[in-house]
Amino acid sequence: MIILELFKKNRVCTHDRISPATDLAYCPDCGELVENQWFLTRCACCGVKLKSTIKNGEIVPESHFCRNCGAKEFTVHKVEKINFIDINFAVLQKNVVKPDVDEMIQSWVDVKTSNYTQELLPQFL
């Protein structure tokens, strides 16, 4: 049994089936709510857009220096909506959105069979 545990793959969902065109969507593989976030990297000196990648969970430019001015410093900007012009320079990061409430209980009342007036019920944790 111990040998089989060594060969098990760590199954972490990468949310590949979520379209980059949507802002929020539920992953069909794992069922979690995922938010698509776009980021651009720019040179800190001249402001030119740099092609970027994600390495070790951090957004960094592909080249180690700016091809326009030669600077090594860069800034990362979050983009709300992506343009087709920026798509070659942008990086897509898929983040899981955690709900504020861990448990939620709902109750429903059939209006036809009871004289109950509908109102919000208090939530007890």
- pLDDT for position 100: 72
The phi and psi torsions of 16 (rounded to 5 degrees) equal: -70, -25
Residues 41-80: tens digit of each pLDDT: 999 999 999 999 999 989 999 998 999 999 999 999 999 9
pLDDT band at 39 (very low <50, low <70, confident <90, very high): very high
- pLDDT for position 13: 86
Greater pLDDT, 125 or 121: 121
- pLDDT for position 114: 64
